[in-house]
A and B are shown apart, each in its own frame.
Chain A
Amino acid sequence: MIDWIKHLPAIIVVLPLLVAVIAALLPARFGWVLALLATAGSALASVVMMTDFMTRWAGFRMSYHLGGWAPPWGIEFSVDHATALVIMVISGLGFVATMSSKSLFANEISSDDLGRVYGAWLLTFGGLLGLVMTADAFNLFVFFEISSLASVTLVAMGGGYDKRALIAAFNYLIIGAIGATFYVIGVGFCYAMTGTLNMLDLAVRLPEVNDQIPVYIGLAFMVTGVMVKAAIFPMHFWLPPSYGHAPMAVTTLLAAVATKASLYILVRVLMTIFGGIDTLPQLILQWVLIPLSLMAILLGTILAIYERDAKLMLAQSSIAQIGYIVLGFGMGSLAGLQAGFIHIANHAMIKGGMFIGLGGLAMAVAGKTKLNDLAGVGRRMPFTATGFLICGLSLIGLPLTAGFISKLYLITAVIEAGYWQIVAIVLFSSALSVIYLWRLIEVMWFTPSNSGDGRLPEQVMIYAPLWILALANIWFGISASTITEMSYGAAQVLMGGMT
């Protein structure tokens, strides 16, 4: 291995956190450039790291000891196939979201605030990356707090023009704090029983005390806390309002990456930390997560159909999509975990693109996102709307898009596990999802516009990032092997424990 590659895990996380401080201190006009550079740096480093991982066997693990303190005493950053994939998704989507953010912020946030906003933006971004990277259960809590406090600030920035954003941000803050507290209580129980905080160490030591009640209590607290963070039904209620009322750029960032990190933590907690304990994590997967994910899939889809505001519609659909990911994980099999990871990657591209596109379309009609306001914008803004449409078709799983690959692998995993009833539910809800997308298409293209028929101005910094994601959706829908193989490696790592 080339020497500098081993420093990549630290660079990826520390770079955005450091630049966050600089961005907050320097004049506002530097905010976007700094954020762009920091996210680009992390994304580039992730690409290098993932390329390295693609050539390695699935058990390979990269360990970085912060400050040179060896684990289990020091804090360790640990990267394996699962980590590398999720890091790639978060940093890549974070970069694309940052590209589009300047134009999207233009109408919503006063330019004087941009320095601080980008400070919080980078803290969110770096916090999420740290969350995924760290192998220390308590350090994970710290990153939880960094990212969620920063993202609450970002959501609250919507309060400048939409007071509902303040309520949503407050709820987000409280619920997020409860989730994090539950998690840290759980960690406390485990620490009390084993005397260690390192995840790998926990994985080894927990099975030794698996007849003790506190271990189960610790597991319950940790899992519940992470489920709140990951917006898994029925702990999802904070998500639609915060996505729906936050500034569009913030929604883009959060929808694309925020819950993905928590979903990853969920499966890590269950399969890695508690993976050595027989049957209990499997029982949680099968009897808790599968039923809840099915509720999420159906409820999210149905609520999206009845939603009359496009932004909230997409937020509701996120609940259902999170359900698909959790369902894959819930299968507890190699194929199921693979399907879950594939959809983590693909859904990030899909929703990121859709929110950027919606933001671009909404800007042309004074920032409104009600369906009626969007009448005819598809014809009037062809570049933005077509990119949005491609991501939308990927959302419903049209073949030749990434969404289809997700669906194919998920269905395969579920059929393989023999759950025919669940296949029926998944397919039924994915057919229902066509309805809400179709409502958008009919409004945007085939409904007479409210204000003339001329072309509306389109911003290149919105449709360029949008098209990057739209083309990625097509590329990974045809040549899916990059994602499917990385996900397969990730699934193997989790099935085999973190050894």
Chain B
Amino acid sequence: MIAPSHAIILGLAAPLAVALLTPFLGKRPQLRDVLGPIGGVITFVAALQVALAVIAGDTPEWLVVNISSGLDFSFRVTALGAIFGLVASGLWIMAAVYSVGYMRGTNEDNQTRFAAFYAIAVHAALAIAWSGNLLVLFIFYEVLTFSTYPLVIHKQNAEAIRAGRLYMGILVGTSLMLLLPAVVWVWLTAGTLDFKQGGILSGQLDPALAPWMLALFAFGIGKSALMPIHRWLPAAMVAPTPVSALLHAVAVVKAGVFTMLTVVVYIFGYDFVAETGASTWLIWLASFTILASSVIAIQKDDIKARLAYSTISQLSYIVLGAALASEMAIKGAGLHIVMHASAKITLFFCAGAIYVSAHLKKVSDLNGLGYQMPMVFIAFFLGALSIIGIPPLGGSWSKFLLMAGAAERGMMLVILVLAVSSLLNVWYLLEPVMRGFFMTPKQDVKVSYHPLVVIPPIVTALLSVVLFFVPWPFSTLISMMVMP
């Protein structure tokens, strides 16, 4: 056992150490590739320590340096931060193992650069999770954007460079032009940027201005991929699959919705949001995004593109939970970060495994493949069920809580939206599985296994099952988010 504040330092230092050591091991790939998983385990243990301390009622803190008067560069873990820290670090272990298999299996260039920036991105995600105030959060939000750029354009062809421009354009553009002024506005209004249970704006901000400030945040946080600023996410799918799996299903996008949720819970205070009705418009925009992106996902034949639109839809569940701003909805949103992460990373792992083993990218080519790689397809099936929200998979808890939250606010139409979305999920997420098992193959496909790309999806799929029966410690942490 180490002190919680030391655990913060350890958890932040481990991925950074991996990133800094990697370039020196470029000539020794074995050693280089084992660094990632080791770093993942260390970081996860640290994150667990931090989370346990939070559950014990402690507030782990680390003041790094004073930026200037009134502004600290510090880390201070909230209940929500503990959740995100656990998710990002825990899934990094699997993703690190998986990316070794994937990068070797597809013989990618520049593997060293890839591994280094991958670790920096994880570092930034953890720093976001544990940030002590809104400014530190913003700082690492930007670091995360910039550190993932080399990963997005990894292939360095014209398509990747174009996607990189869209990625940077939307993420940097929105955060600079909307998120930054929102942060400064909060600072000038409340005189502080610290996260506080119950928020810091209540009584400080004119309720008539609250919807505007919330809008600056909602559109400024491009990473939460609310329509119409979602285009960067499908574009980012040009990156190698491990990036799509960990970053564009877990770290980056969850950093977005995490920020949104943090703003609602610890800056506005969800009671303040509910009282002022600041988020009514956001409920409908999130509902629209949920349905619209599901409809788009149905039309996508490329597996990763389909998963990307599914992610956009699922992220809006969390934004919706934040916008509903009732106790149940906030809890549901917090839990959905965990449940969606473990399920969606499974789906991406499977998509990548299919690509590495059979070189197939399209849903329509998957006919009959299920019998050749049964474990991968079963894992995909479990992940899909969790996202649809069927027991006994973890996703059913968060969806249940979100629906309860909508009922709490008396929003029956929102319940309908969630129900329709589940049906659409069934349609587009189970199609690949059905084709795999129940249709005759179109052509002969040679399948060559790389074990490192098959084990991780199985593990994360089982995790989704386990999370249904044992949602601890997340169940405790989400209750702490809404404690008065």
Which residues of A are in contact with B by a Cβ distance under 8 Å?
A: 393, 397-400, 404-405, 407-408, 411-412, 415-416, 423-424, 427-428, 430-431, 434, 438, 442, 446, 478-481, 484-485
Contact = CB atoms under 8 A, between A and B. Distances in A.
B178 to A, nearest CB: 8
Interface in B42-69: 64-69
A412 B67 CA distance: 15
A431 B188 contact: no
Interface string B413-435: 00000000000000000000000
Interface stretch (B135-143, B335-343, B386-394, B396-404): B135-143
B73 interface: yes
Contact of A430 (B73, B140, B176, B185): B176
21 contacts: A398-B146, A400-B143, A405-B67, A405-B68, A407-B180, A408-B135, A415-B181, A415-B184, A416-B188, A423-B181, A430-B176, A431-B172, A434-B169, A434-B176, A438-B165, A442-B161, A478-B64, A478-B65, A480-B67, A484-B69, A485-B69
Nearest to B135: A408
B66 A412 contact: no
Nearest to B66: A481
Interface in B62-101: 64-69, 73
Contacts of B146: 393, 398
Given A399-B143, A446-B153, A484-B68, A408 B184 contact: yes
Q: Which 5 A-B pairs have the closest CB atoms?
A: A399-B139, A484-B68, A427-B177, A481-B68, A399-B142
Interface size for chain B: under 10, 10 to 19, 20 to 34, or 35 or more residues?
20 to 34
Contact of A431 (B64, B65, B143, B176): B176
Interface string B345-371: 000000000000000000000000000
Interface of B: 64-69, 73, 135, 138-140, 142-143, 146, 153, 156, 161, 165, 168-169, 172-173, 176-177, 180-181, 184-185, 187-188
Contacts of B185: 415
A399 B176 contact: no
A427 B67 contact: no
A100 B409 CA distance: 66
A400 B173 contact: no
Contacts of A408: 135, 180, 184
Nearest to A430: B176
Given A399-B138, A399-B139, A412 B168 contact: no
A33 to B, nearest CB: 36
A479 B142 contact: no
A478 B68 CA distance: 9
Contact of B68 (A411, A442, A485): A485
Contacts of B73: 478-479
Nearest to A424: B177
A478 B185 CA distance: 21
A210 B155 CA distance: 68
A468 B397 CA distance: 53
A399 B127 CA distance: 13
Nearest to A400: B139
B76 to A, nearest CB: 17
A411 B182 CA distance: 11
Contact of B184 (A412, A434, A442): A412
Contacts of B64: 478
Nearest to B150: A445
B49 to A, nearest CB: 25
Contacts of A431: 172-173, 176-177
